[in-house]
Amino acid sequence: MASTVTSVAEICANAKRAARVLAQTDTAVKDAALEAIATALNDRIDEILAANERDMLTAREADIGAALLDRLRLDEARVAAIARAVRQVAALQDPVGEVIDGQRLPNGLDVRKVRVPLGVVAVVYEARPNVTIDAAALCLKSGNAIVLRGSSSAMHSNAALAQIACEAAVSAGLPDGCVSLVAGGGREELAELATQQGTVDLIIPRGGEGLKHALQAVATVPVIYAASGNCHVYVDASADVEQALAIVLNAKTQRPGVCNAAETLLVHERIAPLLMTRLLVALGDSGVLVRADEATQGFAEQLDEQTASLVVVEPATAEDWEQEYLAPILAVGVVGSVEEAIAHVARYGSGHSEAIVTRDTAAARAFQLGVDAACVYVNASTRFTDGGEFGMGAEIGNSTQKLHARGPIGLRELCTFKYLIEGDGHVRV
C-alpha cells in the first residue's frame, strides 16, 4: 500500500492507473474484493484494536473531549459493524453501466446515457477511522480508486485499516493502487493532494469548517463538501409532547459528536409551557448543557431549587446559534411561528439536516418547502441522515451543497455518466 514514503503525486498517479482498470472490472470481482475486506477485518481485529488503542492513548493525553473520543474509538462491535457495512455495499446493485436514459433519435442514432466511475476519489477526513473502510468499500464498488488522507489523531487506526483493505482487495484481483493512504497529517500533504489535477478527479472532505476552509484556499480539483451539520429541531405548536421529547433527546444525545446530531432546538411559544420544563429536566438528566434565550431562561427559573440544580442553563450568545458543538451542548430558543423557525434555520443552518415535530399538515408542508437543506424531516430525528440508514450500505459523507450530489454520498453519487451513441454509417449534413 502506498504511503508518504512515496510522494503524493506518485500515489495519485498509481491510483489513476488503477482507476483505468477498475472502470472495466466485473461486478463479481469487485464484490469478491469487498468480501475479502470484510473477512480480513474480522480476522485481523486484534491488530486493528491495538492500533486504535495507540490513538486513543494519545487522544486521552491530549484531553480532546468525550465526544471526539467516541468518534475515534473502535471496539469489537464497531469493527464487526464496519465489516457488515462492507458486505451490505457488496450486496447493492452495481451502479456502473446502469442506463439512466436512452432513445432512438429521428435520424436513427441510438443514444444511451450510462453511469460510469468518476476515476480517482480522494477522501479527507477527521477523527473517525471507520470512514477509511466505508469510503474504500463505496469507491471500489463504484469502480473508483481511492486515496485516503485521515487526521493525525487516528494515524495508527487508519494505517492499519487501509493496509488491511488494500491487501485484501489486491489479493482478490483488484489492481495495486486501488486503495492508498497519504499518511501525513500536515497541511502540506493536504495542499499537495488538493492540487493533483490530471490524476485526482474529486476530493471529498469529511470534517468541520476548518477543514472545509483549508481546502477552499488551495483546491484546484473538484470538491464535494461533506461539511458541518448545524442541525435544528423545531417543535411546532401542534406537536405531540411525548413525541417531541423523544425526538429532541434522540437527536441531541444518542451520539452528540456526529454531524447529524441536533445543535439547536426551537420551540413554538404556544407549546413551550407544556414542554419546556420537562425538556430542560430531561436534557439535564442526560448531561446536556443548555444555551438558552431569554424565554427559555424564564422556564428554567420555574424549576424548583432541587431540580434546577441538576439542569445547567446558560444565556445564549449570538455565536451560539451558529455553532456545531459536536458535544452535549444545545442552543434552545422560543419562536412565534413556523415562519420564524424557517427564517432562523435559513440564517444559521448549514444545509445538512433539519426537523419539524408537528401534527399540523400545513406546518409540515411549509417547513418542507421553506427549509433549504439536504434532508428535511417531519416527526423524526435528524440522526437518520446516514447512508446506511438510507439503504446505501454506507456513505462517505453528507453533502451540504447542491451540484452533483446532495445528502448522503453513496454509490451513485460516486459516479458520473457518459453518452454512448451508436449509428450505422451516420454522417451529419
pLDDT in tens, 319-347: 999 999 989 999 999 999 999 999 999 99
Structural contact between residues 235 and 267, judged by C-beta atoms closer than 8 angstroms = yes
pLDDT, residue 67, reads: 76
Q: Is 226 exposed, middle or buried (0-12, 13-18, 19+ CB in 10 A)?
A: buried
pLDDT in tens, 260-277: 999 999 999 999 999 999
368/13 Cα distance (integer angstroms)? 44
How far are the Cα atoms of 135, 139, 141, 259 from residue 89, in angstroms, in the given order?
11, 10, 7, 22
Q: Dmax of the chain from CA atoms?
A: 88
Mean pLDDT of 133-146: 97
pLDDT in tens, 223-234: 998 767 899 999
Mean pLDDT of 178-187: 83
Amino acid at 208: G
Domains of the chain: 8-226+396-422 (3.40.605.10), 231-384 (3.40.309.10)
Task: Count Cα atoms within 13 angstroms, Cβ side, for 32.
Answer: 10
- Average pLDDT value for the chain: 94
Mean pLDDT of 108-112: 98
CA 244 to chain centre: 25
Nearest to 417 by CA among 203, 65, 99, 5: 99
pLDDT in tens, 14-62: 999 999 999 999 999 999 999 999 999 999 999 999 999 999 999 999 9
Indicate the DSSP class of residue 175: P
Asked whether residue 2 carries a pLDDT value surpassing 50, the answer given is no
pLDDT, residue 263, reads: 98
Q: Is the pTM of this model over 0.75?
A: yes
Task: Write out the three cell numbers for 314.
Answer: 446558560
E strands, 35-130, in order: 99-104, 110-117, 120-125
pLDDT in tens, 382-420: 999 998 899 887 788 889 888 889 999 999 999 999 999
Mean pLDDT of 201-229: 87
- The pLDDT confidence band at residue 184, using thresholds 50, 70 and 90, is low
Coil, helix or strand for 346? helix
Nearest to 195 by CA among 409, 12, 416, 414: 12
User: 10 Å Cβ neighbour count for 62?
Assistant: 11
